[in-house]
Structure 1
Amino acid sequence: MKIIAESGSTKTDWRCIGETSKSFNTVGLNPYFVSSDEVYMAIKDSFASLGNEEITEVHFYGTGITDESKADIIKNGIRKVLKNRTEIFTYSDIIASARALFGNYEGLACILGTGSNSCYWDGQMNSFQIPPLGFWLGDEGSGGHLGKTLILDYLHKNLSEELNAKFISKYGTIDRLEILNQAYSQPKPNKYFASFAPFLLENKEDYQCQKLIIQSFDEFFAKYVLKYPNQSPIGFVGSIAHHFGDILTQVAASHNLIISKIVEKPIDALVEFHQE
């Protein structure tokens, strides 16, 4: 049996390829925010339910896998469950996106989910990348960036009277100290701020919301996409790219670019890739 996993900061999708096909979900396993023991605790029950078929390979794609030390956090957590010589391969989320979008063909792969990322995929590897800087220094165009920008407008009292009333109706009055606590003292601030992105989706026809979304996407294109020497074909992966696809397509067109493909979840395409 092969196990394929694709993890964001919010959720991990798992697929099993063997005598029978199985799937399950766990929490997101970003090694910047979880330990090997936490990986073990998150997956042990699901792995125990798979039965006795031998697991020969695990291919884990995830956000936060930026070097060997981060990869080892994931590997050690999985090994603690399997307790055998199963081969465990880890890849960054951008490799997941590139393989899901283009397989063995070249293209510019972009992620707009809880976070954001991009790379030029030559069909075999990430051959060129404008480096992402994470939630606090980057993640333009992502759910985290959209939510953070919305919250800043709320705190600075920049929202229109109508939009502010809608915000309070949905979330209640949020105290500044509560937001500061979530931002600086709690784990996964990107996930917290991304939780406000649905408000923008629900109100994307509102001029102020639409302007915020366009500006966030435009920053992603300006800081990343437009700096790549080869910009076609361009594909996007992630919930934000999927749900805001119409606005994202408009922003791309404003830069004379065409998006060839948008995939909400790369896991199904990754399963096909590993079955070839």
Structure 2
Amino acid sequence: MILIADSGSSKTDWRVIQKNGAVSQFRTIGFNPYYQTKKDMIAGLNSPPLLELREQVNEVHFYGAGCTSQSNQESVRQAINSLYPAARVFVDHDLLASARATCGHEPGIACILGTGSNSGDYDGENITMSRPSPGYLLGDEGGGSYIGKHFLQDFIYDDMPASIREECIKTYNLSIFEIQDNVYKKPFPNRYMAGFCTFITQHKSDPYCYRLIYDGFKDFFYRHVMRYEGYQEKPVNFVGSIAYYNHDVLRKVGEDLQIQIKTIIETPIAGLTLYHQKKI
């Protein structure tokens, strides 16, 4: 049995591939070795769907946010092996998953716009170049935490339309002190900030919310896509909920910057499943 995981900071999509090719699926919390210790990840992996497969899994392919360095990959590998000690475990970054799911075997630029953001230049087989992805404090342009952070800053400084502010207070019972508590004291502030993107997307008919999304995407193009050689001749593909649910804004930014956007999908797990099914 093969177990495939596509993990972001907020959630992980899992697919189970049986020897006969049958596929089943489930979802757990997200994992990111930049923000979680190996002990934290082991605790998160001890969930019923994963525990039930303990005696059956012989191979795991884990694609995850934060799994770029060898040390982070090893931390995730050890956490998974604690649950499946007899399984062969392969850990790679989520950017390769996005490239395999959207570009297939064709060259292109693969991008992630979910809770965080990332990008890479793909030659049809491997990521040949990628831009720095320093996380929600120093980067993540265009991602949910980036857009959400600017939204919360505007809330704190009262730099948003009164109607949006009032609706936000009504929806979340929000206060400055609650924001500070969640950002500075509680775990996963990136998830907290990204959580407001649901509200922002629902209100993107309002010029203020539309501009928040548009400017976040524009910053992503400037810091990522437009730094790759020949970017205007290459198809640019996106994976992630922020890109998927705001595809209209994303395509508008691409059009304004003369960038050809091809595929936009919410998650790469279906493409990854097909990729690994062929290897059974």
Which AA in structure 2 matches 1:16?
A: V
1:47 equivalenced with 2:50 (yes/no): yes
Question: CA distance change for structure 1 residues 246 and 191 in 2, over 3 Å: closer, same or farther?
Answer: same
Q: Is 2:54–2:84's contact at 8 Å kept on the other side of the alignment?
A: no
Percent identical pairs in the alignment equals: 37
Matched, 1:250 2:248: no
Counterpart code for 2:71: S
Alpha-carbon separation, structure 2, partners of 1:11 and 1:123: 27
Aligned to 2:191: 191
Deviation at 1:33, TM superposition (A): 2.1
Using structure 1 for the length normalisation, give the TM-score: 0.94
What is the Cα-based RMSD across aligned positions, in Å? 1.4
After alignment, is 18-27 or 71-80 more displaced? 18-27
Counterparts in 2 of 1:65-144, with a 5 A limit?
A: 65-84=67-86, 86-144=87-145
After superposition, where does 1:150-229 map in structure 2 within 5 Å?
Answer: 150-175=151-176, 177-229=177-229
Cα distance in structure 2, aligned partners of 1:15 and 1:106: 26
Residue ranges of structure 1 left out of the alignment (5+ in a row): none
C-alpha distance in 1, partners of 2:235/2:6? 23
**Deviation, structure 1 residue 248:** 0.4
What is the distance in 2 between the residues matched to 1:208 and 1:36? 41
Moved more, 246-255 or 256-265: 256-265
Query: SS where residue 137 of structure 1 aligns?
Result: coil
- Structure 2: runs of 5 or more not aligned: none
* C-alpha distance in structure 2 between counterparts of 1:9 and 1:51, whole Å: 24
Q: For residues 16-44 of structure 1, what are the alpha-carbon distances to aligned partners after superposition, in whole Å with 9 as ceiling and x for unaligned?
A: 11144222211101112223233233233
Q: Is the 8 A contact 1:38 1:77 kept in 2?
A: no
> How high is the TM-score relative to the length of structure 2?
0.93
Q: Equivalents in 2 of 1:114, 1:103: separation in Å?
A: 24
CA separation in 2, counterparts of 1:26 and 1:173?
Answer: 27
CA contact (8 A) 2:54 2:83 kept: no
Moved segments of 4+, more than 6 Å: none
Alpha-carbon offset, residue 52 of structure 1: 4.6
How far did residue 51 of structure 1 move?
7.0
Instruction: Sort the Cα spacing of 1:184 and 1:173 in 2 relative to 1 into closer, same or farther, 3 A.
Output: closer
